[in-house]
Amino acid sequence: MTRFLHTLLALGLLAGLASAQTFTVTGAFEYEDKGWGYGGWSGSDAPRPIRYCDVTVLNNTNSQVLGTGWTDENGEFSIQASGSGTINVVVRLNADTNNHPTFQRIRATTTGNTEYTAFSPVFNGHDTSGPLDVGTTTVLKSLAGGDEGNPFNLLDMGVEAWSYITGPLVNDTNVGTVRINWPGGGGSFASGSTVTMSDDDGYDDAVALHEWGHVVHNLYSDSDSPGGSHFFGDSDQDPRLSMGEGYATFFGGTVMVWSIGRAGHYMDANGSSQTGGVQLRLRLEETSPYAGDSFGAADEVSVACTLFDILDDENSNDQSGGSDDDAFDSTVTINGLNVHRAWWDVFEGPIDVAPSLTINRAWDGWFSEHGAGAMYTEMRDIFDDHRIRFYEDSDEPNDVFAQPVAVSAPTGWSATRTLYSSDASPPSPGDGDFDWYSAPMVQGSRVTIETRYPGNASDADTQCDTNLTLWDEDVVLQANEESGGTGRNARISNFTLPSTGDWHWRIRTTSSIRYYGSYEWRITYNFQNFLPVITSGPSAVPPSIQDDATSMLSATATDANAGQVLTYTWTPLGGGTILGSGPSVTFDPPAVGATTVFDIQLTVSDDLGATTDPVVVQVTVDPAGSPCGNLASTSVGGVSKSGSVGAPALAPVGSPVIPGTGFKLQMTNGLPGAQAWIFVGFALQSAPFDDGFLYPTINRIFLAGIPGSGVLDMPVPLTDSQFCGVPFYVQVLVPDDPGATGTYQTSQTNYVEVVPGA
């Protein structure tokens, strides 16, 4: 081996080996940044350092590597190179952070995976016995067609992203190599660990950070976004898409604030413009210019701004002037963690394993990770500001059939209600929700029950996807609708109720993705049927009969629906026969061996089947030819009204026994010679009359002259057993009594109740 080396030296093939020495190469790399303002391109460009990128010192003659290193945070480098004699030196910069010993590896390449490079000027004949300062090399703008861009700018946005992730706020570790491609044609997107930037997005920092956010989501957590078309102001996206895009915008805005020092924003400008050229922009703190049009969990702007509010505080570079518009200020810690790390633990934990990731899972994950009391009120306020309503509404609990919110139909649109409930206290994380409502409704009515987006929004402002079911009072499902309303709302239309009772309807969602949300509901009548109303009766005349006789049953009813024909249904519950139909029928009892009370039930129905509750009238039936089974009785009631000879009085004499002729009624203190009016009725009415009271209903009137004694005897023969137990009432009035008051100057007796019996 020694002889071989000597031979090489003799031939001059290793001429510099023996004299190689170390020398220092210093310098800096920067790129030409495109001046930006919220109005778009400012036209005032300035350089920015190219940080953490690979630097290689080369022999420009034979491309021999003399030394390697990387740029620091200022874009500067100092590399120990090895060479001898005089060398033509050039320094190459690669858009790759591979050489840095601790920083995340990031590459900027073409779509063909060719890494971008830049070179310092060539320093010919450098004497390796001394250091070399190559100065500052500026990488100028590039063109993709007519669009300006700079791959080192795009790489630098990745550096900003991982400076935030691996910095003190989050303090996480690196992942595998990530890559950003440019120019990528007509649209920017991310896939796995790679970002591809469109031709005109080469200087759109916010767009690049948004796409880096997708990569971060893919590598540190898990996104379930289905991808596809999306745009700011659309509140009716797939919530998984809104979460994926909203998270990326939020992440980019967070890096803007906490790594770059700009206000949290999203900006997409025209790459061919020198000034202005704004195509799309958003201020995350104010939600402008979408503050009036971006709400709910299915809106990516709403999701982005909600998440941003959790991390944004009074120190953010924004328009809040050293204050914050929510309670998450710089003093907040969650179980000893700053809010950035607290959120990151949710991001890498519950969000990573959540199925069908939406903002719902982020909310639930926060509380499952940190506890139900982890700034619950403050979190609720932030989410509610963007109409992401993860809280129980005032109707709760109404989760079961037996616990509905009772209303009277019809109704106007309800207040906003939420499909959210929780058994925890505070109520987080949440569960799926059933909302039950009920109203008394009548058979034959036709109803429409429906939901809508809160405030009748045409753009949803909610992720809610309602399912509507209708149940009768026996818990039998009668209708089930998943759609029929506007958008994702449900409607049961013009449903004819087959029975009367407390009808229940349930609002829920069957979606495994949109399992929270908010809605409004109402119930209206297409036609309202009313129950018939029994206005009098039922009554039986007479109420007591022998089994060889009959009793007349009667009732009256009305219906509020004009033109309805009413059907009277008389049903003997203990036997017997109904003769006839309609409001007046005859009850023909069966033969009985002893006194029996029969119940006859009455219901009244309309044309549509709406039926009153049953009512009962009773008829007492005795065996034919047997003595009356009821005990005879009398009683005195009411008060007399005085006349010329004082207060006339009516009293029974004897007992009203059937059969018998010895019973009578006797009036005393009558006006001698005057004519007495004897009123007999089967009921009491106690109606005010002529400064006194008319006590019986007037079914019969008898006239009699009052003897000079002022005492009037009125025999009451009782021979017909059909009057057994039938009470009647008697009162005597004497008109034109000069000593009486009133228009008709009637003196009036009290009344006597007579109940004939055995």
pLDDT digits (tens, 9 = 90+) for 572-611: 999 999 999 999 999 999 999 888 999 999 999 999 999 9
Task: Please provide the average confidence, as pLDDT, over all residues in the chain.
Answer: 93
Residues 223 and 349 in one domain: yes
Lateral strand order in the sheet of 544-546: 544-546, 615-622, 596-605, 567-572
11 pLDDT band, cuts 50/70/90, is very low
Of 498, 464, 457, residue with least CA distance to 478:
498
Residue with the larger pLDDT of the pair 320 and 481: 481
Residues 497 and 596 in one domain: no
Boundary (domain end) residue, out of 622, 653, 670: 622
3-state secondary structure 558-625: ECCCCCCCCEEEEEECCCCEEECCCCEEEEECCCCCCCEEEEEEEEEECCCCCECCCEEEEEEEECCC
Residues 482 and 589 in one domain: no
722 pLDDT band, cuts 50/70/90, is low
Query: Cβ atoms within 10 A of the Cβ of 561, count?
Result: 17
Residue with the larger pLDDT of the pair 457 and 250: 250
Residue with the larger pLDDT of the pair 624 and 587: 587
> CA-based Rg of the chain, rounded to a whole angstrom?
49
| CA distance from start to end of the chain | 150
Of 524, 460, 525, residue with least CA distance to 486:
460
Specify the 3-state DSSP secondary structure of 717. coil
Assigned domain for 377 exists: no
User: What is the phi/psi pair of residue 522, to 5°?
Assistant: -155, 160
Prediction pTM value: 0.77
Mean pLDDT lowest for which of 195-209, 425-439, 615-629, 668-682? 615-629
Pairing between strand 615-622 and 544-546? parallel
Residues 543 and 501 in one domain: no
Assigned domain for 397 exists: no
Residues 601 and 482 in one domain: no
Assigned domain for 395 exists: no
Residue 174 has pLDDT above 70, yes or no: yes
Query: What pLDDT is attached to residue 726?
Result: 85
What does the alpha-carbon distance between residue 240 and residue 263 come to, in Å, rounded to a whole number?
Answer: 27
212 touches 256 (CB < 8 A)? no
Which domain CATH number covers 515? Answer: 2.60.120.380
Query: What pLDDT is attached to residue 14?
Result: 41
385 touches 461 (CB < 8 A)? no
Assigned domain for 396 exists: no
What does the alpha-carbon distance between residue 511 and residue 421 come to, in Å, rounded to a whole number?
Answer: 16
97 touches 70 (CB < 8 A)? yes
Residue with the larger pLDDT of the pair 464 and 327: 464
Which domain CATH number covers 727? Answer: 2.60.40.1930
Residues 469 and 574 in one domain: no
Residues 121 and 217 in one domain: no
What does the alpha-carbon distance between residue 356 and residue 312 come to, in Å, rounded to a whole number?
Answer: 27
Boundary (domain end) residue, out of 370, 394, 414: 370
Residue 604: Cβ-neighbour burial (10 angstroms; 0-12, 13-18, 19+): buried
Number of domains in the chain: 5
The continuous run of DSSP H or E covering 470 comes out as strand 467-471
Of 553, 551, 517, residue with least CA distance to 534:
553
Residues 180 and 136 in one domain: no
Q: Which residues contact 758 (CB under 8 A, 6 or more apart)?
A: 627, 628, 629, 630, 631, 632, 657, 658, 724
β-sheet bridge partners, residue 715: 664
Assigned domain for 399 exists: no
Which domain CATH number covers 53? Answer: 2.60.40.10
Assigned domain for 383 exists: no
643 pLDDT band, cuts 50/70/90, is very high
Of 666, 744, 673, 738, residue with least CA distance to 705:
673
Residues 182 and 274 in one domain: yes
Boundary (domain end) residue, out of 590, 622, 654: 622
93 touches 71 (CB < 8 A)? yes
Assigned domain for 554 exists: yes
User: What is the phi/psi pair of residue 138, to 5°?
Assistant: -105, 125
Assigned domain for 375 exists: no
What does the alpha-carbon distance between residue 507 and residue 417 come to, in Å, rounded to a whole number?
Answer: 10
Residues 425 and 345 in one domain: no
For 509, the domain range is: 405-527
Residue 161 has pLDDT above 90, yes or no: yes
Residues 255 and 231 in one domain: yes
Residues 517 and 570 in one domain: no
